[in-house]
Chains A and B, each alone.
Chain A
């Protein structure tokens, strides 16, 4: 099947002249395509940032600042906001492929379907990590949380959580765009899956911010790592089943 598709490459290129991209390279090409679209339009990223900042503000006023210390609030607020702003990016991931049936062209490309999934997921991780990179300092500013010594482990946890959120979210995004409920369905399917991630990440964050020993956060970290491992593999395997055959 690969050779067939490849034989029709225009401009007289012989099939043997061009090397087929491997899984990693193909995934990178898909990710680069998505990131280029996002970089040129910046609509989803910008709205996700504004959404995250708005969220930080609203949550601050939802509690009595004299009753609940901002630092106790911070980890929970952070992770609720990461989750929901991540959904904005995930929504778009396969939404952009709907115009002009771009998805069909992507599927016709001579790359493995797993590569399409991994590429999409990679672009989404960059998206979510980008939102995190801006909202984390914003949280430090608004909630007066000293991030000084812990920002590096915190960034590591944020990345681990982003991988888990994106692994599941990318797959569900591919499914949701083909249904009648599209925008409604993605959060409904994804949020139960985000529970272990958000719980683990928020608990680890809270312990880091409180200056607790790292050993205390380890059981939570293990859940996070296990989730990432299981769901990246499972979703990559499941993805081809969500495509029209």
Chain B
């Protein structure tokens, strides 16, 4: 945890970890305690199904995160408010993290259930491409130094990326339906028994809290970085 000193020498961020993050971490831990000890195992998949309570909430929150990127990108181009850009940046990063969780937990579940770590199922492919789009977004951000230009460029990419998602969605579904594969495909979504549904909702809420907490942390980090860059700029300017 880095902390930045203000001109008066006071720390901007005295806390090691924000209260939000602590609450969110406890929430996720509680959700998992519920998943492991208080939710019955699924009849056919057994323990492997437990990963579902981590996988699906992470996926849903990644979608939310990327939705936030698109909205704040539009807001930035409209109002030119650097705060909108900072939210977009933070949300993209947290979204990419959640997508990574989805892509990591998926194969762990798929190996015992489908018999393969990876298949080119529509949903898997779409998630992988989401990862590529927002990884590109963050690389673009890293490749531009000037903050105003970085904000404009990434807002353009953030909006175009959101426009691209439906097209990838359509093509991967069409690709699959026209080429049915002779391997086990993802079964239709089962209608969950209420205990499982409650656990899922609990887990989703915990992950949403985690998303907000990480977003907030990342946003503050962005603020500090901007402050630091400004100060270094002044230093180089020789004032």
Contact = CB atoms under 8 A, between A and B. Distances in A.
B159 interface: yes
Contacts of B110: none
Interface string B168-180: 1011101100100
A232 to B, nearest CB: 12
Interface stretch (A14-22, A63-71, A127-135, A195-203): A195-203
Contacts of B108: none
Interface stretch (A53-61, A150-158, A186-194): A186-194
Contact of B153 (A175, A195, A203, A234): A175
Given A196-B170, A223-B170, A223-B174, A179 B143 contact: yes
Contacts of B157: 175, 189
A215 interface: no
B118 interface: no
B153 A242 contact: yes
A142 B10 CA distance: 72
Nearest to A235: B160
Contact of A241 (B77, B136, B164): B77
A243 B112 CA distance: 51
Interface in B145-162: 145, 149, 152-153, 155-157, 159-160
B144 interface: yes
A171 interface: yes
Interface string A205-245: 00000000000000110010011001100110010011010
A181 interface: yes
A168 B160 contact: yes
B37 interface: no
A175 B140 contact: yes
Given A180-B145, A189-B136, A195-B129, A227 B155 contact: no
Interface in A29-83: none
A185 interface: yes
Given A192-B164, A203-B175, A180 B144 contact: yes
Nearest to B132: A192
B48 to A, nearest CB: 30
Contacts of A226: 167
A179 B140 contact: yes
Contacts of A227: 167
A191 B164 CA distance: 12
A185 B143 CA distance: 8
A214 to B, nearest CB: 15
Given A175-B153, A241-B152, A195 B168 contact: yes
Given A175-B140, A180-B144, A192-B129, A234 B160 contact: yes
A219 B177 CA distance: 11
A193 B165 CA distance: 9
11 contacts: A171-B156, A175-B153, A191-B132, A192-B133, A199-B172, A200-B171, A203-B175, A235-B160, A241-B152, A242-B152, A242-B153
Interface of A: 168, 171, 175, 178-181, 185, 188-189, 191-193, 195-196, 199-200, 203, 219-220, 223, 226-227, 230-231, 234-235, 238, 241-242, 244
Given A179-B140, A241-B77, A241-B155, 20 more contacts: A171-B156, A175-B140, A178-B144, A180-B143, A180-B144, A185-B139, A185-B140, A191-B132, A192-B168, A196-B164, A196-B167, A196-B170, A196-B171, A203-B178, A223-B174, A226-B167, A230-B163, A234-B159, A235-B160, A242-B156
Interface of B: 77, 129, 132-133, 136, 139-140, 143-145, 149, 152-153, 155-157, 159-160, 163-164, 167-168, 170-172, 174-175, 178
